[in-house]
Amino acid sequence: MNKTVLLVDDNRLARMMLSSVIAEARSKWSVVEVHNAEDALEQIEAKTGNFDVILVDVGLPGMDGLELVSRIRKNNQTTAIAVITANIQTPVRERAEAMGATFIEKPLKAQALFEFFEKVDGRE
Amino acid sequence: MIKLTEIQQETITELMNIAVGRAASSLNQLVDEEIGLTVPRVRFIERGDVSRLINEHTIDGACAVTQEFSGPCPGEALLVFPEKKSLELVRAIIGELAPVESASELERDALTEVGNVVLNASLGSLANLLGMEIVCALPEYVKGAGEFIIMGRETGAGGNGDMTMFMEVNFELKQRKINGYMMFILGMDAARKFMDFIDGYMAKAFSSSRL
């Protein structure tokens, strides 16, 4: 089934890398890219319920990625979220996982994202 | 001034080895080639002297990604490359993602992301090993001479004339012959707290080795 992905990362190269893996793994999925948490929340409000998958970096200008996930989870417990970050500290991973997000390390290994997408597909 | 004992010095070197090893593994994934590392070196120097070291390492100017961090031991981390090698590094990173001609357009984003990944990998590993949590600011990309990179900013690591604990590792992309430098700077208050964590780590390591 086709899905819509919201991709939140302030770095253009990181967005390019992620988009390229998504295109390879799920060519029919569409991707909306934003570079900060505030724009992500705006997109989510405008398209309530329409994002099937949200990929979030932790280090963002303004509100950080974990705060963004926490705001999203206040109204939405079900959307599949992956936190994709170079910040490999254990407390960061624990906070992400406690909010029901999958923790994926940067540099991105395509396989980690493929496995996350398989979990997303399996929820249908 | 802090005087490190031999065992403290060795413990810092060992933990830095693990942390920068993790960073080298991340860089290896980004550029798909072997990364050589030197043994980490720890010493106490004035913050302003770091600019001289950068100039010595990068004779025709440098590119640097700097990242300040806060927490129990606030400081700054830098990833430094010679400017004349920066586009070659960008080309290695973007690979087939974008045409070769777009390397200069992507330079800032590509090198910032490399800095983000490499510095976070080493800082995160070190924080996990020592059981502390640090908060990393967003990485910043700076280009120019060492004075511009270091002395233009006053940070958590103190002013330019202040003594700092300075840790440095040199690395090399072996095929492309690109040298880079990872640098970590702590002000003296932060260095004292860092040494408390090192002593705590040693105490735990020695007590578990007796079990």
Instruction: Give B106→chain A minimum CA distance, Å.
Output: 7
Residue of B nearest to A9 (CA): B113
For residue B160, the 8-state DSSP code is: T
DSSP class per residue in chain A? ---EEEEE-S-HHHHHHHHHHHHHH-TT-EEEEESSHHHHHHHHHHTTT--SEEEE-S--SSS-HHHHHHHHHHH-S-SEEEEEES---HHHHHHHHHTTPEEEESSPPHHHHHHHHHHHHHT-
CA B90 to chain centre: 19
Q: Which stretch of A46-60, B27-41, B74-88 has the lowest confidence by average pLDDT?
A: A46-60
ipTM for the whole complex? 0.83
Q: B64 touching A, CB under 8 A?
A: no
Residues of chain B numbered 135-194 and touching chain A (CB < 8 Å): 136, 138-139
Cβ of B109 within 8 Å of Cβ of A12? The answer is yes
Segment B156-206, tens digit of pLDDT? 556 667 899 999 999 999 999 999 999 999 999 999 999 999 999 999 887
- pLDDT tens-digit series, residues B61-117: 999 999 999 999 999 999 999 999 999 999 999 887 888 788 888 999 999 999 999
CB nearest to B121's CB, from A16, A86, A90: A86
Angstrom distance (rounded) from CA B121 to CA B127 = 10
| SS3 labels along B67-84 | EEEECCCCEEEEEEEEHH
Which residue do the tokens 């290994």 mark? A109
Residue A89: list chain B partners with CB under 8 A.
124, 127-128, 133-134
B97 and chain A in contact, CB less than 8 A = yes
